[in-house]
Amino acid sequence: MLKKTLMALSLAGLTAMTVVHAEDAATTADTMATSEAAAPASSTFTDDRWYVAPFGSFVQPSGDRNAQGGWGGGLALGKIINEYFNVEVRGFWQNWGNNGMANTSRPGELYVTGAAQGFKHGATDMTGGTIDLQYYFMRDTFSPYVVFAMGGANNSWRGLTDNTPYPAAHLRTQTSSFIFEAGAGATYELADNFLLRADARYRGDTAAGQYYNNYGLSSHTSVFNDLVVNVGFVVPFGDKPGAAAAPMVADACASRDSDADGVNDCDDKCPGTASGTKVDDQGCPIVMELRGVNFKYDSHELTAGAKTILDGVVEQLVAMPSKKDIEVAGYASFEGNKGKEQHNLHLSQRRSESVAAYLRKKGVSNNLYAKGYGTEFPVADNGTEDGRVKNRRVELRWMGD
């Protein structure tokens, strides 16, 4: 009874310690997640490697066995299924010494004496295998888990006696049985391909009934209840997914031109330049032609189409880092009448003022200076209607510091 109590307390203690570690680790993880809320979420768990896991065991047989604690070992072949589960096949051998016959329901038969003495100074060999399912609370350097297992074993009893054995025909006997286990443990990762592992398990062994039957005795239990503590290591095969450090890649800004202004991102001092803008060798705007913002013949009034285009220009100017002063330059087309040059100059001034007023109204914060250039600096042939339409234009010119 005392041994059963110690066994239960030991298993409960290990389980409690494992849960505490799990809660501490979960608290740490929550704290880190809170402090790093802006960081991207971790990648999906991708480790699905196979592994081998040799281990040594200490066994404390139940009081019903009337035996001493013993030792053993084994080997497991396993596979990581996902973030939470491992499955493995284990083989083991264990051995312990016998004090005498196992306990039965008959008074006085726990320790048989005299001519009927049995299995004094004997030993038990237990050889078997299980299929284990492990559930991990988390995967980290320290990874606690619970384990459930079932399988079979062969119990082989060997007896040496001072007197005639009881009964004489059964100095050695063996029994095959069904076993099941439940427990808790943890792994500790020392390297990507080497982990320490330990767990404590309760084991139920149905060999009890067959044992008593072999000796023509009646029993008060059909299951031996043992405590097994396993300590070993795990060696996964292959590289741990995501474990290799990403190679250092030189900044490729020299090959990028994010705003398509012809100046690479390394040298661009004015990133985010609006499309269609002429820039200097540092990527800062010089001239933007307001393409499509044309005017009807002899008019400075903005058309509906021109306003739509200017609305897009406003968005670009507001987002642009450069807030230098801008000259709004207005131009007119030459219609072949040299006497109207002064009129065209005034018309281009009104056109530039009309555009500047619209940009201010829509939220452009740069200082805008309207200036008309008349028919100077044509960009197309005034001898055609298409060319004259292009010359009736407005340009934005960024001024110096």
Where are the chain's structural domains? Answer: 2-32+44-236, 253-398
Which one of 12-16, 195-199, 205-209, 216-220 scores highest in mean pLDDT? 195-199
| Whole-number Å distance between alpha carbons of 118 and 171 | 8
Residue 75: CA count within 13 A, CB half-sphere: 4
pLDDT at 111 over 70: no
Q: Quickly count: other Cβ atoms within 10 Å of residue 250's Cβ.
A: 6
Instruction: Tell me which of 166 and 155 has the higher pLDDT.
Output: 155
Task: Collect all residues with Cβ–Cβ distance below 8 Å to 40 and sequence separation of at least 6.
Answer: none
| Whole-number Å distance between alpha carbons of 76 and 139 | 20
In CATH terms, 2-32+44-236 corresponds, of 1.20.120.430, 2.40.160.20, 3.30.930.10, 3.40.47.10, to: 2.40.160.20
Task: Collect all residues with Cβ–Cβ distance below 8 Å to 340 and sequence separation of at least 6.
Answer: none
Q: Does the fold of domain 253-398 match that of domain 2-32+44-236?
A: no
Name the DSSP class of 373. -
Which one of 189-198, 256-265, 354-363 scores highest in mean pLDDT? 189-198
Average pLDDT score over residue span 225-236: 96
| pLDDT level of residue 159 (50, 70, 90 thresholds) | low
pLDDT at 29: 43
| Strand bridging mode 277-279 / 224-236 | unpaired
Helix segments in 137-236, DSSP class H:
207-214
**Six-digit token string for 116:** 């009927």
pLDDT at 112: 42
Identify the burial level of 215 via C-beta atoms within 10 angstroms of its C-beta, where 0-12 means exposed, 13-18 middle and 19 or more buried.
buried
Confirm if 220 and 208 have CB atoms less than 8 A apart.
no
Find out whether the peptide bond into 167 is cis, omega within 30 degrees of 0: yes
| Whole-number Å distance between alpha carbons of 231 and 188 | 12
pLDDT at 173 over 60: yes
| pLDDT level of residue 251 (50, 70, 90 thresholds) | low
In CATH terms, 253-398 corresponds, of 3.40.50.150, 3.90.470.10, 3.30.1330.60, 2.60.120.200, to: 3.30.1330.60
Share of the chain above pLDDT 70, in %: 73
SS in 3 state form for 136-159?
ECCCCCEEEEEEEEEEEEEEEEEC
| pLDDT level of residue 11 (50, 70, 90 thresholds) | very low
Q: What tens digit of pLDDT does each residue of 285-303 get?
A: 888 878 777 777 777 888 8
Rounded to the nearest integer, the mean pLDDT of the chain is 77
Confirm if 223 and 205 have CB atoms less than 8 A apart.
yes
pTM above 0.85, yes or no: no
Determine the 3-state secondary structure of 345 from DSSP.
helix
pLDDT at 216 over 60: no
| Whole-number Å distance between alpha carbons of 295 and 283 | 30
| DSSP sequence for 259-320 | T-SSS-TTT-SS-SPPTTEEE-TTS-EEEEE-TT----TT--PPPHHHHHHHHHHHHHHHH-
Question: Which of 372, 270, 267, 256 lies closest to 321 in space, CA to CA?
Answer: 270
| pLDDT level of residue 36 (50, 70, 90 thresholds) | very low
pLDDT at 108: 38
Hey, what's the torsion of the CAs at 199, 204, 208, 209, to 10 degrees?
-160
**Six-digit token string for 199:** 């767990």
Confirm if 101 and 112 have CB atoms less than 8 A apart.
yes
Confirm if 104 and 91 have CB atoms less than 8 A apart.
no
What pairs with residue 226 in β-bridges?
203
Instruction: Tell me which of 330 and 215 has the higher pLDDT.
Output: 330
